[in-house]
């Protein structure tokens, strides 16, 4: 199945500045695998060392979050669009340290 | 020799980031930086990257469980920010957040959750008043940040 993968702005520098790529895949996981085969430098920004999608990497099939479908095993069909969308987090402290003052 | 990263913005926008931090104090504020990066212009080479922030997109901090030392921007918020950027003919070039009563230095938590390429502006807000403002970029190896010099223009270009 030929699907289009949308590459988020911060990762375009690792994908020849392209905003999307065409890949051949049966599932969302295969589509992401195809993308990181084309652009190997993307891999460490999308996946952890043990091969899991990073928690702040969100993947949508057309307009649906794959977490509410079959995740990376979600099947794709010709013409589908897989979008990689960042979420952003941070904060001042290395761990929670809330001090409740009476 | 590399000149390092530079981020241009107007005095007005820099003040608005500080004000957002002061309004949110003692919680962290956050928002998107909308602007342009020369890397995406026609014929650009990677060597002379110039980046300018031209608009802000303030967001609600979604971490209501721990808003004093955490901020979160959901994927839906990111898509909203990107839509707003496109309407201005701009890109989301980074994010800002405040460190209430903490220095404007990225934490370990910041690094684990950061994306490359984006500019991460941190404004320290001490006792409710905006203090130092810094900007950072995550290195390609994800191990550390490189400081990005913020260049403030006193007047907006006309």
How do residues B112-147 score in pLDDT, each as one tens digit?
788 999 999 999 999 999 999 999 999 988 888 999
Number of H helices, E strands in chain A: 2, 6
pLDDT at B100: 95
pLDDT band of residue B4 (cuts 50, 70, 90) is: confident
Pairing of strands B145-153, B91-100: unpaired
Quickly tell me which residue has 């409740």 as its tokens.
Answer: A100
Measure the CA–CA gap between B134 and A73, rounded to whole angstroms. Answer: 41
Judged against a pLDDT cut of 70, whether residue B87 lies above it is answered with: yes
Cβ–Cβ pairs < 8 A, chains A and B: 104
Contact assignment for B95 to A93 by CB distance below 8 Å? no
Torsion over CA: B23, B28, B31, B35 (sign): positive
Predicted pLDDT at B155: 61
pLDDT surpasses 90 at B110:
no
Tell me the pLDDT band of B63, cut-offs 50, 70 and 90: confident
Across the interface, whether the CB atoms of A88 and B109 are under 8 A apart is answered no
Sheet bearing A57-61, strands edge to edge = A20-24, A2-6, A81-86, A57-61, A64-65
Q: Could you please report the per-residue DSSP string of B98-148? A: EEETS-S---HHHHHT--BSSEEEEEEEETTEEEEEEEEEE-TTSS-EEEE
Cβ distance B66 to A96 less than 8 Å, yes or no, reads: yes
What local confidence, expressed as pLDDT, does residue B153 receive?
85
Give how far A2 is from chain B: nearest CA, Å. Answer: 24
The SS3 assignment for A32 reads helix
| DSSP tag of A42 | G
Residue A55: closest C-alpha in chain B? B113
Block means of pLDDT (10 residues each) for chain A, length 102 residues? 96 94 98 97 93 93 96 97 94 51 32
The verdict on A86 touching B (C-beta cutoff 8 Å) is yes
Which of A17-26, B43-52, B96-105 has the weakest average pLDDT? B43-52
Amino acid B23: pLDDT: 97
Tell whether the model's pLDDT for residue B156 goes beyond 60: no
A102 burial level (CB within 10 Å; 0-12, 13-18, 19+)? exposed
Query: Is the model's pLDDT at B40 over the cut of 80?
Result: no
Q: What are phi and psi of A65, to 5 degrees?
A: -70, 125
For residues A65 and A45, what is the distance between their CA atoms, to the nearest angstrom? 19
Report the alpha-carbon distance of residue B113 to residue B73 in Å, rounded: 11
Asked if B107 and A91 touch (Cβ cutoff 8 Å), the reply is yes
- Within an 8 Å CB–CB cutoff, is residue B87 touching chain A? no
Between β-strands A2-6 and A81-86, what pairing exists: parallel, antiparallel or unpaired? Answer: parallel
Residue B97 touches chain A, beta carbons under 8 Å: yes
Question: Is B85 strand, coil or helix?
Answer: helix
């Amino acid at each position: 199945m030929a699907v289009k993968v949308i590459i988020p702005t911060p990762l375009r520098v690792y994908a020849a500045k392209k905003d999307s790529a065409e890949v051949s895949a049966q599932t969302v996981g295969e589509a992401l695998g195809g993308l990181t085969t084309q652009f190997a430098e993307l891999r460490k920004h999308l996946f952890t060392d043990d091969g899991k999608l990073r928690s702040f990497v969100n993947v949508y099939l057309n307009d649906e979050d794959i977490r509410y479908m079959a995740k990376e095993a979600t099947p794709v069909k010709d013409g589908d669009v897989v979008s990689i969308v960042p979420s952003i987090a941070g904060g001042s402290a290395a761990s929670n340290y809330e001090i409740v003052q009476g | 020799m590399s000149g390092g990263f530079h981020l241009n913005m107007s005095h007005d926008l820099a003040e608005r980031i500080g004000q957002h931090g002061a309004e949110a104090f003692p919680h962290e504020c956050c928002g998107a930086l909308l602007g342009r990066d020369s890397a995406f212009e026609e014929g650009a080479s990677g060597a002379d990257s110039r980046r300018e922030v031209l608009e802000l997109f303030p967001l609600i901090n979604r971490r209501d469980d721990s808003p004093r030392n955490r901020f979160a921007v959901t994927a839906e918020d990111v898509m909203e920010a990107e839509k707003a950027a496109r309407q201005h003919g701009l890109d989301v070039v980074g994010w800002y957040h405040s460190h209430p009563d903490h220095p404007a230095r990225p934490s370990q938590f910041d690094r684990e959750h950061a994306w490359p390429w984006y500019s991460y502006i941190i404004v320290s807000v001490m006792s409710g008043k905006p203090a130092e403002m810094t900007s950072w970029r995550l290195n390609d190896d994800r191990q550390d940040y490189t400081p990005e010099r913020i260049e403030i223009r006193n007047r907006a270009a006309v």
